[in-house]
Amino acid sequence: MKFPDKPSNEQERLESLYSYELPDLLEQAEFDNLVQLASGICNTPISLITLLDTDKQWFKAKIGMEGNCTSKDISFCGHAINTPDEIFVIEDATKDERFADNPLVTGDPKIVFYAGVPIVTNEGYALGTICVIDRIPRRLEARQYKLLQGLSKQVVRLFELKKTIKLLEDKEIELEQKIHSTCQYVNSIGHDVKMAFRNIEISTELLSKLDQGGEERAKHHGNIKKESSEGMGLINEVIKMAASEKRTKESAKVD
């Protein structure tokens, strides 16, 4: 048995894989539908969407296969990702020296035929494959291979879409946290400034009562009091606006 070679860009490939926050083993109908299509197009009992990390081959979606993963060392897909621009085909694994004694061939699921199309990102990194498997020797038509390549591209589109949605969700959470922090800050400093204006207002009232400086000075006291009241009114409006913005965001989140 021949172990798969490590891709020349393995570190970058793994970083790309992890950037999609894959693999997760939650059932997702979009991916399940693709393996069902692949199996139907090629008339094979087994079809997989695989993702390869440092030492495991994970099944993102599967039909006709038990378990969630295998060792990368015995995987057919580990070989396939080394030729990202080609379809990796083994028509009869029992007669291929690379796979004849592979435990996936000699034992369950008794792989004989394998065809895997690498799942390649826009940056050129092969994350895994969409593959079809049979327990008898097979050959596929050119039309079937072309359809498998189309399904591989659809897998990439789904990965990119889910990655974009996750980024947008993270940005929304970050924005909500900033709004919450800003509202708290505005509320806190607003009350402090209100208190300062109120102290000025009280002091002015006391001075106007004690001061016998005449009409001109009384006018200044009145202006100070008036501006203090207006300042407090402005701060109240800012606090109300911050509270309203917070309620609006919370209501939108519930809806």
Kindly report, residue by residue over 165-219, the tens digit of the pLDDT.
877 877 777 777 766 666 666 666 656 555 655 656 665 565 555 555 555 555 5
Model confidence at 136: pLDDT above 60: yes
Residue of 167, 64, 156, 158 whose CA lies nearest to 113: 64
Please state, in angstroms and as integers, the Cα–Cα distance from residue 255 to each residue in 179, 203, 213, 226, following that order: 18, 49, 62, 43
Taken in order of first residue, the domains within the chain and their CATH numbers are: 10-140 (3.30.450.40), 169-254 (1.10.287)
Burial 180-206 (b: 16+ CB within 10 A, else e): eeebeebeeebeebbeebeebbeebee
Task: Report the chain's terminal Cα–Cα distance, integer Å.
Answer: 57
Q: How far apart are CA 249 and CA 175, in angstroms?
A: 10
101 SS3 class? coil
In 93-141, which residue ranges form alpha helices assigned H by DSSP?
103-106
pLDDT at 172: 72
> Residue 14 carries which side chain, given as an amino acid letter?
L
Q: How far apart are CA 93 and CA 90, in angstroms?
A: 6
- For 196, phi then psi, to 5°, come to -65, -45
| CA-wise closest residue to 1 among 138, 111, 87, 129 | 111
pLDDT at residue 168 in the model: 80
Cβ 88 vs Cβ 51: under 8 Å: no
Band (pLDDT 50/70/90 cuts) for residue 246 is low
Q: What is the DSSP letter of 136?
A: S
β-strand 88-90 against 113-120: which pairing, if any? antiparallel
**What's the distance, CA 51 to chain centroid?**
16
Q: Would you say residue 227 has pLDDT above 70?
A: no
CA-to-CA distance for 25 and 59, rounded, in angstroms?
8
